[in-house]
Structures are given as structure tokens and as C-alpha cells.
Amino acid sequence: MKTIYCVLLLLVLASCNNKGQDTDIFNGDIINIEEHAPEKEVEFKKLTLKGLNFGNLAIHDSLVFFMNPKLQSKWFQLFNCHTLDEMGEFVGKGNGHEEFIAVGPIWNFYTENNELKTLIFDGNKESVSVWNITKSLTSKSTIIEKEIKMPWKKENRGACFNELLIKDSCTLYAKVSATPINDYDASLPYYQIRDLRNGEKISDIHIFKKSIVNKQTKFLPQTFFYSHDAMKPDGSKIAQAMLHVPQLNIIDTKSKAVTGYRMNENMSLSDLETSKELKPYFIRICADDNYIYTVFCGKAAWKVNEVPCVNHIYIFDWEGHLVRKIITKHCIDEIAVDGINKILYTTSPMDEKLYYIKTDELITGATL
């Protein structure tokens, strides 16, 4: 009789433990990292730009770009960090020639023939356009050099591109978004390597092997593997700061190897399949050739329309080591790093200031 009870108990326990293994889910090695790092409280300096500034932030060598949906007829506003002057509005809104119905943010920049350029992606047009910023500033009008078709509706079966990371003038790493299959499952996000000369796909990089099916959570299934990504300026690596798991993935763009660096917050990839509460961990990212700067939350998810105050920046090196925990005196929204002048910038959801600090000050000096 006792034997029967034991067997029954074991069977019940086994059936409860239907959680998968992280090795079945992740397409690479997972390394647990030391999450204790020197902490430092810092007060950023503030800039007041001469003009309305709002939206997605990008920085290149003292040029500040805002992808501002509030502008009347253009998509982007440019400012000079030194003079604080607005340098103009660029990239027309509309459905005409060299106009865009909607645009994504600027992810990174590249130079070609000593001219600064970036890509404008309009998901509705299914194309990226090369925006020559140097010529646009000189002529005070938007100079679009060429349009490259990226037919995601047919090629990706309806999954759009979320992030577009430019490695060089010929090579684009385009992240395909997860799309919902039903209320509790979604397709896997992954990267496509595409040739910018003709728009054709070269190959894929898969970060995950298996999707998460979860009927118990209120979160949309396409957010389970959500991450904020940034490319190392030399193009050799991509960092992914995951939203619902405290894990930083680093992708080697040459070998396509993926490595996950996991912090101990008692949350794994397979926990996404359970009724465990999902928290937002990493919510923003930017990177220079030395470090990866992430905004870390780690608390219960905020409510619809709530604006939380998040003021922790976790700094990693490109080997996945957590090197610093920064506590700021202001609430953080967007972050971007000027790798040339070594300055980290943030905006805040509480005001229209541009906050900044030298990156050396974050890494060196006294800690708590």
C-alpha cells in the first residue's frame, strides 16, 4: 500500500514538473554571472535644448537626434549638444516621393566617403532608405540616397523588422519581431543578415530554439523573448538585454555564436512557461566599443498608462561581466552614448532636459 502511495506521489510530482529546460529553449551557452558589482550614485548634468525635444533618442558626435512623432511635417529633429541649437527638422511625413508614412527610430550610424549616414525604415513601405545626414545638414533639406526593398510581409510571413543594426554600408542585421500565433504563443524573434546593396537576405541568426507557451500569464506572448538590442560600434557583436529574464545575450556577428549571461534574480527562460510573475528587467540599452549600458528595473511591472521612475544603469563589458551598478538622481527614459566624445546621455519622462555624464566618471572613481 505504501509503495502504491509513493508511486502515485512521484507520478503527481512528475506531472507538475512540466517546465522545460533552458537548454531546450536557448540556442547557445548560458553563463551565470556574478551580479555583485561596485555601486555608485551619480548626478548627471543637465542641458536644455533650444526647442521642443521628445521621442526616441540617438547620438553621434555631439549631434542629437530625436525621432519625434509630435512634429508637424517631419520625423526627425536635430540639435547640437554644444550650442544647444536646433539644426533643423528632417525626413518628411507623408505618402509622397521620399516621404514616410511612419518611421522607426535610428539604431546606429555609419560613414561612407566621410559622410554620416543612417537608415530610415518605413514598415508600411517595406523598405529602408539611406539618409545622408552630412549632405542634409549642408543643404538644409533631406537627402535620401536610395531606397532598398525589404518585403517582410511575404518573406517573413507577416513578421515585421523591429531593430535594424547597420554593420557597414553593405551589411544590415535586421531583427525579425515575434508575432502572436494565438493568445499564449508567438513566433520566435531572430536576426536576418541582409545585403544593403540589393536588400537580399544572406543568412539567419537564431537565438532561441523553442517558443514559450503560457496560458497562465496576462502578458502578450510576443513579449516573452523581448529584448532591447545594440551593436558594438566596430560591428563585431550585438548585445541583447532581455526584458522578462535578467539575461544579457551577446551575439558574435562573424561566427553567429550566441551566449547568454544570466544574473541571479531567480528567473530563468523556462520560468516564462509558468505562473511566475513576469517582471521587467532590462528596459533600455546602448553601447560603445568598451561597454554596454543598460537601464535595469527588476520590480513589478507598472500599470497601463503609469510612468514609473527607473534610475538604475547596469554597465557590462563585452565579455558579459557586470562592472558597475549606477544609481542616478533622475528618472531615466531614453539612453544613448556618444562613443566618440565618451558621453552618456539620457532623457527623463519627467521633464524635457537632456542629462549627460562622461562615461569615464561612471567606470572609475569612488563607489559605495
Partner 1 sequence: MKKNILATTIALAALVGYITYETQSNTQIEVFSANVEALADDTGEATEVGTCYIEQPFTSCTDWLLFCDKDTDNNHIYPCPKDKNYRGYSSMCTDRCTK
Tell whether residue 11 is a contact of partner 1 (CB under 8 A).
no
Tell whether residue 240 is a contact of partner 1 (CB under 8 A).
no
Q: Is 107 exposed, middle or buried (0-12, 13-18, 19+ CB in 10 A)?
A: buried
**Rounded least distance, CB 296 to partner 1, Å:** 11
List 35, 349, 365, 367, residue binding partner 1 (CB under 8 A): 349
Q: Determine contact, residues 300/280, Cβ cutoff 8 Å.
A: no
Q: Determine contact, residues 125/149, Cβ cutoff 8 Å.
A: no
Within a 13 Å sphere around the CA of 171, how many CA atoms are in the beta-carbon half? 13
Q: Determine contact, residues 272/212, Cβ cutoff 8 Å.
A: yes
List 31, 47, 84, 301, residue binding partner 1 (CB under 8 A): 301
Q: Kindly determine how many residues on this chain lie close enough to bind partner 1 according to the rule CB under 8 A.
A: 31
**Residues 6 or more apart whose Cβ sits within 8 Å of residue 8:** none
**Residues 6 or more apart whose Cβ sits within 8 Å of residue 12:** none
| Distance, CA of 352 to CA of 350 (rounded, Å) | 7
Tell whether residue 248 is a contact of partner 1 (CB under 8 A).
no
- State the Cα angle at 334 between 292 and 44, rounded to 5°: 80
Stretch of 166-174, 190-198, 206-214, 220-228 lying at the interface with partner 1 (CB under 8 A): 220-228
**Rounded least distance, CB 34 to partner 1, Å:** 25
Single out the residue of 347, 362, 367 nearest to residue 59, CA to CA: 347
Give whichever of 282 and 316 is closer to partner 1, judged by the CB atom.
282
Lay out the site mask for partner 1 across 179-218 (x = CB under 8 A, - = otherwise): ---------------------------------------x
Q: Which residue has the cell 517546465?
A: 19
Stretch of 58-66, 98-106, 232-240, 263-271 lying at the interface with partner 1 (CB under 8 A): 98-106
For residue 171, which phi and psi values (nearest 5 degrees)? -130, 130
Stretch of 1-9, 17-25, 231-239, 306-314 lying at the interface with partner 1 (CB under 8 A): 306-314
Give whichever of 105 and 246 is closer to partner 1, judged by the CB atom.
105
| Distance, CA of 304 to CA of 362 (rounded, Å) | 33
| Distance, CA of 333 to CA of 309 (rounded, Å) | 9
Tell whether residue 73 is a contact of partner 1 (CB under 8 A).
no
Tell whether residue 260 is a contact of partner 1 (CB under 8 A).
no
List 28, 246, 280, 339, residue binding partner 1 (CB under 8 A): 280
Tell whether residue 123 is a contact of partner 1 (CB under 8 A).
yes
Tell whether residue 219 is a contact of partner 1 (CB under 8 A).
yes
List 19, 69, 146, 289, residue binding partner 1 (CB under 8 A): 69
| Distance, CA of 344 to CA of 357 (rounded, Å) | 5
Give whichever of 123 and 260 is closer to partner 1, judged by the CB atom.
123
Tell whether residue 162 is a contact of partner 1 (CB under 8 A).
yes
**CB atoms closer than 10 angstroms to residue 93:** 16
| Distance, CA of 259 to CA of 208 (rounded, Å) | 11
List 68, 134, 171, 223, residue binding partner 1 (CB under 8 A): 223
Give whichever of 3 and 72 is closer to partner 1, judged by the CB atom.
72
Give whichever of 102 and 170 is closer to partner 1, judged by the CB atom.
102
List 78, 283, 337, 362, residue binding partner 1 (CB under 8 A): 283
Tell whether residue 304 is a contact of partner 1 (CB under 8 A).
yes
| Distance, CA of 75 to CA of 131 (rounded, Å) | 12
| Distance, CA of 249 to CA of 260 (rounded, Å) | 4
Single out the residue of 253, 246, 292, 289 nearest to residue 269, CA to CA: 246
Residues that bind partner 1 (CB under 8 A): 69, 101-105, 123-124, 160-162, 177, 218-220, 222-223, 226, 243, 280, 283, 297, 301-302, 304-308, 333, 349
